[in-house]
Structure 1
Amino acid sequence: MRQILLTFILCLSVVLGTAQNSTLFKQATEFYNKGEYTKAIENYGKILENGEHSAELYFNLGNCHYKLNAIGPSILYYEKALLLKPNDKEILNNLGYAQNMRLDAVEEMPKTEIAQLYLGLVNFLSFDQWAYLAVALSFLFVLAYLAYFFLRPATQKRIAFISCMFSLVLGVLCVLLAYLQFQEFKHDNPAIIYSKEVKISSEPNTNSEAVFTLHEGTKVNVEEEFNDWSKIKIADGQTGWLLNDNLRLLKDF
């Protein structure tokens, strides 16, 4: 009886929480349409505090900060939205506008055509999307196998057999791509510079030499951490250390 009561309370809290978030999102949208971007940000922030994360929520937060000319936060939230909804044209478009406001123009290290093709294929979908596609192809494989087993006409059996093998090969490929994409995701730890300007040091201490300077909105990759310091790498291959307060991680959902 006690377990049933706890389950009921849990379900009720989830329903109430969802309703509250829906109300907050609606109010935030109204604030945004009125040009009250700070109030909209407050409401979106409350939804995040309630534990809800979505591409739409981060996209709207990015729009609000962009309207307030806050480069770092706008890029941060657009990038977060892109992690949850890869290749979304609207997110990419708005992210491009925000990136044009950055002071740093870091050129990426050139990649070979093979590397570009590999990354384009692996990152075409997120690892969970590759996994969902693999599951769908597995169902298709089972259906095609059953069709091959029960059908009598030779032509239909041949089509069923080809479909069976085709879905099996594609399913295995999707599993492989999901694994490769997950490995890429796991080793990639992107962050956005949040300070207006920060000196990047050669060592994790305040007495070390500054090797270069970064500005708000620049995307970096965190390679390791030491106490309150992070070692970062930028797109052109340069590395250095900075205090953690100067950046915000993208994958801290």
Structure 2
Amino acid sequence: MRAFTFLLLCCLSFIGFSQNDAVFEEANTLYNNGKFAEAIDKYESILKSEQHSAELYYNLGNANYKLNNVAPSIYYFEKALLLNPNDKEIQNNLAFAQNMTIDAIEVVPKVGFSRLINNVVNTFSTDAWAKITVACILTFVVLFLVYHFSYSTSKKRIAFVTSIISLCVAFFSVAMAFQKSGLDKKDNPAIVFAQESRVKSDPNQASEEVFRLHEGTKVDVVETYQDWSKIQLSDNSTGWIPAKDIKLLQIF
């Protein structure tokens, strides 16, 4: 019975993917014929089936860009970039879309030791750092065994030194993995969808307005309270914005 259920689910999944592929081709045809709004409806129907891909988000970004939909185009390009961060076409089209935004926010670069640490931590993903740790520990074990059972003094010396280096790299990789994981958890980007949003000093309408943001601007959500989100900009400015005015990027 379980086997039958599993096979049934597999068949349904296959049918679902096939249908989505057909819809995707229909949407592409509509896009190529200049029917961008209709293409968007088709692409979004695929999203409703919880099928996500960089290509789908990229096409949604292009279709919205053609209609001058600032926030949606940036939002979907950013989503595509999350799934395929090294794609040059996505990066280029995102840059074009960002040129449509009103807000000019400076990026405050990290300097000194903080910049160096961030560059090292971001060299690999958390999983990659973890894999390096495992590889170094296995190398340490093998070299320690070589050191223990070898009769040659020179081989013992080389095995001992190399094993210690491997162990040190393993500890370093563990530290980098935890650091990268912490940075990823703090990173909670969102795109402003409201045409204009008033950012407040506190999470209530009666509080002082600190600045205004417009559609398409990228922010980082650092805290939430009821219907408000505390955001931070690339210039380190902070404030509270109505949660309905933004859309989080990392929710799929």
Deviates more, 1:103-112 or 1:86-95: 86-95
Match of 1:20 in 2: 19
- Give the aligned residue type for 2:64: H
Match of 1:223 in 2: 222
- CA gap of 1:98–1:139, structure 2 versus 1, over 3 A, is farther
State the Cα distance separating 1:168 from its structure 2 match.
7.7
Deviates more, 1:133-142 or 1:7-16: 133-142
1:173-218 superposed Cα distances (whole Å, 9 cap, x missing partner):
6555443322211111111111111111111112222111111111
Any idea what SS the aligned residue of 1:8 has? helix
1:98-118 superposed Cα distances (whole Å, 9 cap, x missing partner):
111111111122311433333
CA distance in 2, matches of 1:66, 1:168: 51
Any idea what SS the aligned residue of 2:43 has? helix
Asked if 2 retains the 8 angstrom alpha-carbon contact of 1:106 and 1:235, the reply is yes
- Give the aligned residue type for 2:221: V
Any idea what SS the aligned residue of 2:229 has? strand
State the Cα distance separating 1:161 from its structure 2 match.
11
State the Cα distance separating 1:247 from its structure 2 match.
0.4
CA distance in 1, matches of 2:81, 2:226: 30
Asked if 2 retains the 8 angstrom alpha-carbon contact of 1:86 and 1:125, the reply is no
Deviates more, 1:211-220 or 1:133-142: 133-142
- Give the aligned residue type for 2:197: V
- Give the aligned residue type for 2:117: Y
CA distance in 1, matches of 2:59, 2:136: 34
Match of 2:231 in 1: 232
CA distance in 2, matches of 1:245, 1:196: 12
CA distance in 2, matches of 1:143, 1:166: 13
Relative to the length of structure 1, the TM-score reads: 0.82
Any idea what SS the aligned residue of 1:97 has? helix
Match of 1:154 in 2: none
Match of 1:107 in 2: 106
Match of 1:120 in 2: 119
State the Cα distance separating 1:125 from its structure 2 match.
4.1
Asked if 2 retains the 8 angstrom alpha-carbon contact of 1:122 and 1:181, the reply is yes
Match of 1:7 in 2: 6
Deviates more, 1:17-26 or 1:196-205: 17-26
Question: What does 1:125-136 correspond to in 2, within 5 Å?
Answer: 125-128=124-127, 130-131=129-130
Q: Are 1:78 and 2:73 counterparts?
A: no
Match of 1:155 in 2: none
The total of aligned residue pairs comes to 252
- Give the aligned residue type for 2:243: N
- CA gap of 1:140–1:122, structure 2 versus 1, over 3 A, is same
Match of 1:57 in 2: 56
Q: CA RMSD in A?
A: 3.3
CA distance in 2, matches of 1:123, 1:240: 27
CA distance in 2, matches of 1:33, 1:137: 51
Match of 1:94 in 2: 93
State the Cα distance separating 1:129 from its structure 2 match.
5.0
| Uncovered stretches (5+) of structure 1, i.e. residues with no partner | 147-158
- Give the aligned residue type for 2:11: L
State the Cα distance separating 1:138 from its structure 2 match.
8.3
CA distance in 1, matches of 2:67, 2:85: 25
Deviates more, 1:53-62 or 1:111-120: 111-120
- CA gap of 1:93–1:135, structure 2 versus 1, over 3 A, is farther
Match of 2:179 in 1: 180
